[in-house]
Amino acid sequence: MTDIICPHCDSKEGFYTKEQVKGTATPHYTKNGHYAIENGHIYDSLTHSGGKRAYCIDCHKYIGKSEDLISGLLEEEVKESV
């Protein structure tokens, strides 16, 4: 897949979407009160909506529909396949 390049500022840093998130999270803490490293579960009960428009990370301008830009792969999966 080719890099996504912002048509406004030529950035190749990526994009973001604006989403609404609802739900309840239960973060875990260590015996010393530090935020626990393994807290991925806190996202399990959250629901997301929106996110249909993509914006440049650098200039924040609209660059297209997110469904046309999102690859569906996680960054870790891309690194493993390279």
Q: How many CA atoms lie within 13 A of 63 on its CB side?
A: 27
Contact 71, 25 (CB under 8 A): no
Structural domain includes residue 3: no
pLDDT confidence tier of residue 40, bands split at 50, 70 and 90: confident
Number of domains in the chain: 1
Residue 77: pLDDT above 90? no
Q: How confident is the model at residue 62 (pLDDT cuts 50, 70, 90)?
A: very high
- What's the whole-number mean pLDDT along residues 39-67? 93
Q: Is residue 2 part of a domain?
A: no
Give, in order, the Cα–Cα distances in Å from 77 to each of 2, 46, 57.
16, 23, 22
Beta bridge partners of 54: 17, 64
Domain that holds residue 49: 15-76
Tokens of 25: 């999270």
For residue 81, being part of any structural domain is answered with no
Please say if the pLDDT value at position 25 is more than 80.
yes
Distances (CA, A) of 80 to 57, 71, 74: 24, 15, 10
72 occurs within a structural domain = yes
